[in-house]
Amino acid sequence: MPNLTQERLTEIEARYKAATDGPWIMDAGGHINDKTETRNLANTNSYRDTNYLSNAAFIAHARQDLPDCLAEIKRLRADMAEIVIESGKVDIDNWPAQQHICQSIANKSLGRDINGKEPENE
């Protein structure tokens, strides 16, 4: 899988921002419409494509899924940067406390303990 560089993420974000505002709605015929259901954005119904309803659902949900995924990538990268900064402050005499800080940041980022347990509220 190719690395998602900041340049690539910026290109993806520009494409979704340029698209018609969402939410997009899929009708029973495989048409993708805007939120007012007055403007047809795409038609996936093809006599050759038996997956047209699945394709339509994917396209319709992409309008919201993509911004959500990009926001999660930004959040995780910010958390990773915070961990890197904290780990760079290594003081061998105080490592247990610094290790706890890094683990806390990772736990918050993952929404769970890095060992698979639910995070403790801090």
Per-residue pLDDT in tens (0 to 9) along the chain, 122 residues = 567 888 889 999 999 899 988 889 988 888 899 888 788 888 887 767 788 888 899 999 999 999 999 999 988 888 888 877 777 666 666 667 777 777 777 777 766 665 556 545 54
CA distance 122 to 120: 6
Calpha distance 107→102 (Å, rounded): 9
SS3 97: helix
3-state secondary structure of 41: strand
Q: Is the pTM of this model over 0.85?
A: no
